[in-house]
Amino acid sequence: MATMLSWSECEGIGAMKHDHEIDIKGLCCSAPVIRLTKEFKAFASGEIALVVSDKCSMIKDIPAYCGMTNHALLKQEEVDGLFHFWIQKQ
């Protein structure tokens, strides 16, 4: 389930504000896309989610997901072997 974060809690992770965090670490195949689709349904338009994965395949999969759903990929980065993606719901 997504959690709400305050600005101070997210300062250490790329210092980009977000409303929710979605942990997809350990998920593979279609599971990350299913999780993202489920979580984003509950978000309001304009809200930003920080998605965290440990799979390098997400470097291609997340932008493709955003392209198919019309959500905006605002930023992505790798920190200590984890891949962080900031996605804004459209």
Residue 35 is predicted with a pLDDT of 97
28 classed as catalytic: no
State the pTM of this model.
0.83
**pLDDT at residue 87 is higher than 80:** yes
Q: What angle do CA 56, 58, 59 make, to 5 degrees?
A: 75
Domains in the chain, start-ordered, CATH in brackets?
A: 3-88 (3.30.110.40)
Q: What angle do CA 66, 35, 16 make, to 5 degrees?
A: 55
DSSP label of 54: S
**pLDDT at residue 3 is higher than 90:** no
> In angstroms, rounded to a whole number, what is the distance separating the alpha carbons of residues 46 and 88?
6
Average pLDDT over residues 19-42: 96
**Catalytic: which of 10, 29, 56, 66?**
29
